[in-house]
Amino acid sequence: MTGSSTNPLFCGIDIGSRTGKIVLIDNSGNLLYKNILSTIASATKTYHSLLETTPPELKNSITATAVTGYGRESVAKEASFSATEITCHFLGVSALHPEIRTIIDIGGQDSKVITISEEGRIKDFIMNDRCAAGTGRFIEVMAEKVGFSIEDFATVDVSDVEPVKINSTCTVFAESEVISMVSRDIPAKVIISSIARMVALNTISMAKKIHPQNPVFMSGGVSRLRPVRFHLSKLLALNIESDINSQVMGALGAAIFARKEAQ
């Protein structure tokens, strides 16, 4: 998509398995617009739905669009450019938080850890897109078993309870353990803490392979979940940072990528 070049804007779209995100930036990198929608029907429909949310006065000035995420290959022909999630999360986080040395991103269906050098380049990364346990969708399903929505789960303070160990790393067996805890009247807060700790442990087992260092930033949808951030920080013995734009970091990075490629 191209528009007026007098005031060029650059669009980044991140199509995940659970949500689609859109960000618009200007030539100076200022974030002018962002939105998040639930992924619908197909990656192509989600892509166009995100564009349709954009105010006309901004949409008409889009000079270049880049797409990333779970559905990027399906819509690559619709956009000016496409880029990997690793590249886009790195670009997005580094633009707003140049001091960050480790990025942890847990999405709906996968998770990834990126380490950044002192020179501000990608040093190493590792990704898990084969095991559902420890992803946003896993948490959503487990929370439902406890009678919590993901929004309710997100706000629970688990710092004052001791979690119960969930022994299985397989989604199906872990679900059975959670159902068993519910039937034994274990307090919901304890179960939520246990689920969050399992997710943190799965992420850490991956992260330790590339030696994460402070400062750490958590991006993606799961960054909104307070119990997961608490256990990640506790188990890694590192401070986990996040902000109001954490869920759209991939889309922001895609917009930055579009600007760089267009120029």
CA gap 91, 219 in Å, rounded: 12
In the predicted model, is pLDDT for residue 130 greater than 80? no
With beta carbons less than 8 A apart as the criterion, state whether 250 and 93 touch. Answer: no
The average pLDDT across 217-242 equals: 93
The average pLDDT across 137-145 equals: 90
Per-residue pLDDT reduced to its tens digit, 167-176 = 876 777 888 9
* pTM score of the predicted model: 0.92
Query: Sign of dihedral through CA atoms 212, 218, 220, 221?
Result: positive
Domains of the chain, by residue range, sit at: 9-97+248-262, 102-242
Question: Fold identical between 9-97+248-262 and 102-242?
Answer: yes
Helix (H) or strand (E) run with residue 112 in it? strand 111-116
pLDDT band at 1 (very low <50, low <70, confident <90, very high): very low
CA gap 222, 33 in Å, rounded: 22
The superfamily CATH assigns to domain 102-242 is: ATPase, nucleotide binding domain (3.30.420.40)
What percentage of the chain reaches a pLDDT higher than 70? Answer: 95
Per-residue pLDDT reduced to its tens digit, 67-82 = 999 888 989 899 999 9
pLDDT value at residue 233:
94
pLDDT value at residue 125:
97
In the predicted model, is pLDDT for residue 2 greater than 50? no
List of residues 6+ apart from 12 with CB closer than 8 A: 22, 23, 24, 25, 65, 66, 67, 68, 88, 250, 251, 252, 253, 254, 255, 256, 257, 258
pLDDT band at 135 (very low <50, low <70, confident <90, very high): confident
> Shortest CA distance to 215 belongs to which of 247, 242, 248?
242
pLDDT value at residue 5:
52
Per-residue pLDDT reduced to its tens digit, 79-109 = 999 999 999 999 999 999 999 999 999 888 7
Mean pLDDT score of the chain: 91
With beta carbons less than 8 A apart as the criterion, state whether 248 and 23 touch. Answer: yes
Query: Is 9-97+248-262 in CATH node 3.30.2350.10?
Result: no
pLDDT value at residue 108:
81
3-state secondary structure of 48: helix
In the predicted model, is pLDDT for residue 230 greater than 80? yes
| Amino acid in the structure at residue 260 | K
Please indicate whether residue 147 or residue 5 has the higher confidence score (pLDDT).
147
pLDDT value at residue 243:
95
In the predicted model, is pLDDT for residue 129 greater than 70? no
CA gap 33, 30 in Å, rounded: 9
The average pLDDT across 225-251 equals: 94
pLDDT value at residue 6:
66
In the predicted model, is pLDDT for residue 27 greater than 70? yes
The average pLDDT across 193-202 equals: 92
Per-residue pLDDT reduced to its tens digit, 41-67 = 789 999 999 999 999 999 999 999 999
